[in-house]
């Protein structure tokens, strides 16, 4: 949704119509000095204009604008200045603090990444300590983007990478080896007798600018008299970057049309690698799943900072804070008694919005790990004049479902707790750990899920987090992102 009114138009205008961007420019007044008073040149501060722009916007729309320091240090570099404004950013003991706002030096790169376009080899991966107490790190390939350089090189889900360009990955070098190179010679390892063993196999891949299609996989299975629809969806993106078409949303609609035609009466929604995205896509997906919903039912409502909420009330437009489901001919909710959602710690934001928004209307069974815990959303802000190249993504709202619930800042704990093993089967394989757990629950073949076999490792990071701005979720083109 968008702000329904203008706020301080002399500085910037909050978008009213979809398709606009929230932008900002500075219009600081210049006051001529008294000609009788000697003028002493002030020391130059190259960061002043950017930091003034940051501060002005944050004081307007930031969800915790009442927590911004009264006199922040505007001599800091813009990124350090931005993070100095955030609410309790470094206090890990506060689960309600701002963990999510971020800034980038290039607004254009920020917007591209939010639409699934980035320079990449096409690997999405988790990073783990090789063994307990070790400083060595391994990359576990979670999935490979079809048609990407990595896919063409023959890399696949479950591959283990222990070296890049001849160097073993460690806690001290993995970041630079993974993110500072363009060409990668991936040294592969394998699991043998529950141990990770290096091999001589090397796959060489060169990164390129690549557009991810978030609609990764869909299948239909029949088990125990049930027709089960399965969807792997990896980011909430309506269409390719720079495109006005809702190509990916339309793919989702086609999939649900097929689910409906095939009589799907159980749904497994795989969001384990989905860090969020556009709220508009989240609304469409939820509207094809929800039971007994229509465009009169609340999917979620938003709460902004106290100043903006007062403006909504003053303008008698509080109703604009509610986003309702859509009437979708592809809806299969009437055939469903519940929905299964596969989750990890990377399941966040718009993915969690799906879980929370559907809870008042049907049982949502989560399988996997506790989700990330992001019940707040952000907008993209860039300088409309083009003079300032920075782009920022501050948190501006908190969300609540139709029952006024927003109780997942620490994540949704799984109904059925399982971990992904080190040895991964292909997504869609009925023996793949997560999907197998869901199929077992649906068919009633087991009442308990066994722990995955094989060694478990401590995660130290992932490309999913980086794709999400460091576990942040986004908004682009004036649509609230979550």
Please report the DSSP string for 305-366 in residue order: -HHHHHHHHHTT-GGGGEEE----TT--GGG-S-EEEEE-TT--THHHHHHHHHTTTS-EEE
Quick one: average pLDDT of 55-67? 96
User: Is the per-residue pLDDT at 320 higher than 70?
Assistant: yes
Q: Angle, to 10 degrees, between the axis of helix 48-61 and the axis of helix 78-85? A: 20
Say what the pLDDT of residue 447 is.
42
Between CA 231 and CA 236 the distance in angstroms is 13
* 255-276 pLDDT tens trace: 999 999 999 999 999 999 999 9
Helix (H, G, I), strand (E, B) or coil at 161: strand
Quick one: average pLDDT of 229-253? 92
User: Is the per-residue pLDDT at 283 higher than 50?
Assistant: yes
Residues linked to residue 378 through DSSP beta bridges, in sequence order: 395, 481
Between CA 346 and CA 370 the distance in angstroms is 9
Structure tokens at 219: 């299948």
Say what the pLDDT of residue 7 is.
39
Say what the pLDDT of residue 446 is.
59
Between CA 301 and CA 383 the distance in angstroms is 28
Strands (E), 344-465: 364-368, 376-378, 381-383, 391-393, 395-400, 416-417, 459-462
Class of domain 213-376+395-450: alpha beta
User: Is the per-residue pLDDT at 433 higher than 70?
Assistant: yes
Mean pLDDT value across the chain: 86
Lowest mean pLDDT among 16-25, 71-80, 223-232, 396-405: 16-25
Say what the pLDDT of residue 468 is.
54
Report phi then psi at 27, rounded to 5.
-135, 55
Say what the pLDDT of residue 32 is.
35
Say what the pLDDT of residue 215 is.
97
User: Is the per-residue pLDDT at 334 higher than 50?
Assistant: yes
CA 428 to chain centre: 22
Report which secondary-structure segment, H or E, holds 144: strand 137-144
Q: Angle, to 10 degrees, between the axis of helix 247-261 and the axis of helix 279-287? A: 10
Q: Count helices and strands (H / E) in the chain.
A: 11, 23
Tracing tokens 């109703």 back to the chain, one arrives at 319
Quick one: average pLDDT of 419-424? 91
Quick one: average pLDDT of 324-342? 98
Say what the pLDDT of residue 114 is.
72
User: Is the per-residue pLDDT at 192 higher than 60?
Assistant: yes
Structurally, at CATH architecture level, domain 118-210 sits in Roll (2.30)
> Could you give the percent of the chain with pLDDT greater than 70?
84
Q: Is residue 228 very low, low, confident or very high in pLDDT (cuts 50, 70, 90)?
A: very high
How many CA atoms lie less than 13 Å away from 59 in the CB half-sphere?
13
Say what the pLDDT of residue 73 is.
95
Quick one: average pLDDT of 435-439? 97
Q: What is the residue extent of each domain of the chain?
A: 118-210, 213-376+395-450
Say what the pLDDT of residue 12 is.
29
User: Which one of 109-123, 151-165, 438-452 scores highest in mean pLDDT?
Assistant: 151-165
Q: Is residue 308 very low, low, confident or very high in pLDDT (cuts 50, 70, 90)?
A: very high
Say what the pLDDT of residue 374 is.
92
Between CA 400 and CA 350 the distance in angstroms is 12
Between CA 401 and CA 358 the distance in angstroms is 8
Say what the pLDDT of residue 43 is.
52
Greater pLDDT, 375 or 33: 375
pTM of the model as a whole: 0.85
């Amino acid at each position: 949704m968008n702000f329904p009114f203008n706020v301080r138009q002399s500085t910037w205008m909050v978008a009213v119509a979809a398709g606009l961007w929230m932008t900002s420019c500075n219009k600081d007044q210049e006051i001529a000095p008294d000609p009788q008073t000697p003028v002493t040149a002030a020391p130059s501060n190259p960061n002043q204009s950017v930091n003034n722009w940051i501060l002005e916007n944050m004081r307007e729309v930031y969800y915790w604008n009442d927590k911004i320091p009264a006199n922040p240090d505007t001599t800091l570099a813009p990124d350090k200045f931005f993070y100095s404004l955030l609410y309790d950013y470094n206090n890990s003991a506060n689960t309600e603090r701002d963990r999510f706002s971020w800034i980038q030096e290039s607004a254009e790169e920020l917007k591209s990444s939010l639409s699934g376009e980035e320079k990449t080899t096409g690997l999405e991966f988790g990073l783990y300590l090789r063994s307990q107490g070790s400083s060595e790190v391994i990359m576990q390939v979670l999935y490979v983007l079809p048609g990407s350089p990595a896919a063409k090189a023959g890399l696949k889900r479950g591959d283990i990478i222990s070296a890049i360009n001849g160097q073993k990955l460690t806690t001290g070098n993995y970041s630079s080896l993974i993110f500072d190179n363009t060409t990668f010679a991936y040294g592969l390892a394998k699991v043998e007798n529950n141990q990770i063993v290096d091999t001589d196999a090397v796959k060489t891949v060169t990164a390129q600018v690549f557009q991810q299609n978030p609609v990764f996989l869909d299948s239909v299975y029949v088990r125990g008299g049930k027709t089960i629809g399965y969807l792997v969806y990896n980011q909430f993106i309506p269409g390719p970057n720079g495109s006005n078409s809702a190509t990916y949303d339309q793919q989702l609609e086609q999939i649900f049309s097929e689910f409906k035609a095939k009589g799907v009466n159980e749904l497994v929604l795989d969001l384990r690698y989905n860090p969020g995205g556009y709220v508009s896509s989240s609304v469409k997906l939820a509207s094809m799943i929800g039971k007994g919903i229509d465009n009169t039912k609340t999917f979620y409502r938003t709460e902004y900072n106290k100043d903006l909420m007062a403006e909504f009330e003053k303008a008698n437009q509080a109703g604009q804070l509610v986003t309702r489901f859509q009437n979708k001919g592809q809806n299969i909710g009437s055939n469903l008694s519940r929905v299964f959602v596969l989750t990890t710690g990377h399941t966040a934001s718009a993915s969690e919005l799906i879980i929370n928004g559907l809870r008042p209307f049907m049982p949502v069974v989560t399988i996997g790990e506790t989700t990330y815990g992001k019940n707040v959303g952000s907008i993209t802000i860039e300088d409309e004049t083009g003079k300032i190249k920075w782009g920022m993504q501050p948190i501006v709202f908190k969300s609540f479902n139709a029952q006024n619930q927003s109780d997942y800042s620490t994540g949704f704990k799984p109904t059925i707790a399982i971990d992904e093993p080190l040895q991964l089967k292909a997504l869609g394989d009925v023996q793949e750990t997560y999907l197998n757990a869901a199929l077992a629950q649906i068919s009633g073949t087991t009442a308990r899920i066994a722990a995955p076999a094989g060694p478990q490792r401590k995660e130290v990071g992932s490309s999913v987090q980086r794709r999400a701005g460091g576990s942040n979720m986004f908004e682009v083109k004036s649509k609230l992102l979550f």
